[in-house]
Amino acid sequence: MAKLELSTLIDKYELIIQKFEELESKRDTLLEQIPGVEQMLAITGIGKDTVAGFFAEVGDLKYYSHPRQIIKLAGLSLKENTSGKHKGQTKITKRGRKNLRALLFRVTMPLVAKNSAFKALHEYYYTKRPENPLKKMQSLIALCNKLIRVLFAIGKKQFRFSEEKMLKDIPHMDRLQQVAA
């Protein structure tokens, strides 16, 4: 009986592996049809699952005119809890697609580790910012928003991602690099 059960489990495992391979090939063929995916995959730290998950949650980018719409869709826009003279904390709204928000956050962690531009931004926001440095989680949320803006721009215009250009386009990062040099 144990041999029969073991062979049944092995057959199930092989079937599941086969189905996963079929899904991956379908995913790859669908991703090839979307403009800008090749350029998105060229970003260090972003893979096919990330891009597929992003488009699964967001849909076609032609329906969006600005990346703030996607930020709001993800629930990453900021709100401040204030009442009268009381000024409360500023937090993200969390009113949106939690799967998109979770995907972006899970991608941002390895992106900070592998991509030098995002790592430099995280270091600036978290440690080197002279006034009002962000906490670690706040910095990661800011990088999630930056990732949305980068993916949106690449998806709309189909250009290659350049880490140097991204850092040069941010005024305070340009000054920080000049001081370091």
**SS3 of the chain:** CHHHHHHHHHHHHHHHHHHHHHHHHHHHHHHHHCCCHHHHHCCCCCCHHHHHHHHHHHCCHHHCCCHHHHHHHHCCCEEEEEECCEEEEEEECCCCCHHHHHHHHHHHHHHHHHCHHHHHHHHHHHHHCCCCCCCHHHHHHHHHHHHHHHHHHHHHHCCCCCHHHHHHHCHHHHHHHHHHC
For residue 177, the tally of other CB atoms under 10 A from its CB is 14
8 A C-beta contact, residue 43 and residue 115: yes
Over the stretch 35-72, which tens digit does the pLDDT of each residue have?
999 999 999 999 999 999 999 999 999 999 999 999 99
pTM for this entry: 0.84
Give the per-residue pLDDT at 173.
65
Give the per-residue pLDDT at 52.
95
Over the stretch 82-95, which tens digit does the pLDDT of each residue have?
777 888 777 888 89
Over the stretch 127-145, which tens digit does the pLDDT of each residue have?
887 787 888 888 899 999 9
pLDDT at residue 171 is higher than 80: no
In angstroms, what CA-CA distances link 167 with 10, 65, 88, 171?
51, 24, 32, 8
> What average pLDDT does the structure give for the chain?
89
